[in-house]
Amino acid sequence: VAQNMTMTTLLGCGSSGAGTGCALLTLGRGLACSLAVQWVLFIPAAFFRTEKFYDLAGASTTAAIAALAWEAHHADRGWWNRRFVVSAMVIGWGLRLSIFLFRRILAHGKDSRFDKARNSPVLFFVFWTIQGVWVFLNSVPALLTNSLPNDEPFPAMSDVAGTHQEWSLVAGVLGWLVGPSGTFPSLTRPPTPRRDRSLW
């Protein structure tokens, strides 16, 4: 709880309100939080020479940053608005991906990408740092949407007028429906180059 309160404070803008300055500040703090979490988790991973929670850490951190950014800025301004919808989609994507990747590494036992890095602390640290940048880039939509001053409520569910917001939401839902068909088949078999018959 204390850690969440600290990160929420970091991702907020305090009395400065929302605006371009707040957006830049939030982005900078989001990058710092993304890297800091990965660097902390790198320590036990390097000590035990394991990559089993590497992907889980990245995707779940993306979801956590989106949730905390929304809570820090506009958790008290209702649910059906652009900030909440964007944050919820990032959170949902991060949670789905983290569950899938964690199940996959448990099923396969290891990730061949780390065969060299696992025994090289310096190279392993580079991997975790790259993931911190990846987490930040995935969090940018939620960080920016929550920190900018203009907040448009989503239309009522009955008013499907075809604005860019509705079409963005439709595209996100389609991605959720299509994505698992291309990823979850790999849970049942080890990765085999040129033999993958899943969607991707």
What is the structure's pLDDT at 194?
Answer: 47
pLDDT the model gives residue 124: 96
What pLDDT is recorded for position 53?
A: 92
Tokens 């600290």 sit at which residue?
6
**Residue 49, helix vs strand vs coil:** coil
Determine the pLDDT at residue 164.
63
Which residue pairs from 179-188 have beta carbons closer than 8 angstroms and sit at least 24 positions apart in sequence? 179/96, 180/96, 180/100, 183/100, 184/100, 186/104, 187/100, 187/103, 187/104, 187/107, 188/107
Q: In this predicted structure, what is the pLDDT of residue 132?
A: 95
CA distance 194 to 188: 16
CA distance 199 to 145: 31
Return the pLDDT at 129: 97
Residue labelled with tokens 């392993």: 124
pLDDT at site 139: 92
If we measure between CA atoms, which residue out of 147, 177, 171 comes closest to residue 83? Answer: 147
Q: Which residues of the chain have pLDDT under 50?
A: 1-6, 15-16, 156-162, 193-200
At residue 160, the pLDDT reads: 44
